[in-house]
Amino acid sequence: MEDEKIVSLYLERNENAIGESQAKYGKYCHTIAYNILHSHEDADECVSDTWHGAWNAIPPEKPNKLQSFFGRITRNIAIDRYRFERAQKRSAQLETIMDEYWECVPNGEASVEDEYALKQAINGFLQALDVRARVIFMRRYWYAMSVKDIADSMRLSESHVSVILHRTRSKFRDHLTREGIFL
């Protein structure tokens, strides 16, 4: 089913929207949640919560890119679940990913204008990257893939992926500084 029709089902409050969303984007959302939580059961629960979150968000939102919309909801739910369940014992891999990301991005409470400026700066940065660097960056910091999994999927060595990530983070920090985003 086309994305526009799925969104229409949500807007009409038709429960078939959830089944159609699951059929089209369930595996995609499960992969995002699994990469963060490393548990199929937890990932399944996050995906289920994603449809509930989408049900509550549409309306008033009317997403243009449904896959990204569902991916964002799933990722946020999975990260919240990760933080809650592992507050005492932290996963070294996700902690490393989050530390790498937050060393580039300002944290703390930001105003809506600051969040919008950050979003625009990130989008501009990603568009300026070559395809390989962008794919590696997104797989690491959006999909929470391990360096090994990225290297295997792209037929590169782990050290090569690590170097690309390091250089890309450095460029990212420089880009944010040029854009006036405080670090």
The pLDDT tens digits for 104-147 are 665 544 444 566 777 788 888 999 999 999 999 999 888 888 89
Residue 151 has pLDDT above 90, yes or no: yes
Domains assigned to the chain: 3-85 (1.10.1740), 92-178 (1.10.10.10)
Q: Give pLDDT, residue 89.
A: 55
**pLDDT exceeds cutoff 50 at 178:** yes
Q: Model pTM?
A: 0.64
Tokens 């449809």, residue located: 51
**147 contacts 155 by C-beta, under 8 angstroms:** no
Q: pLDDT tens digit string along 23-61?
A: 999 999 999 999 888 899 999 999 999 999 999 999 888
Q: Would you say residue 174 has pLDDT above 90?
A: no
Dihedral (CA of 30, 110, 106, 171) sign: positive
Q: How far is it, in rounded angstroms, from Cα 175 to Cα 118?
A: 11
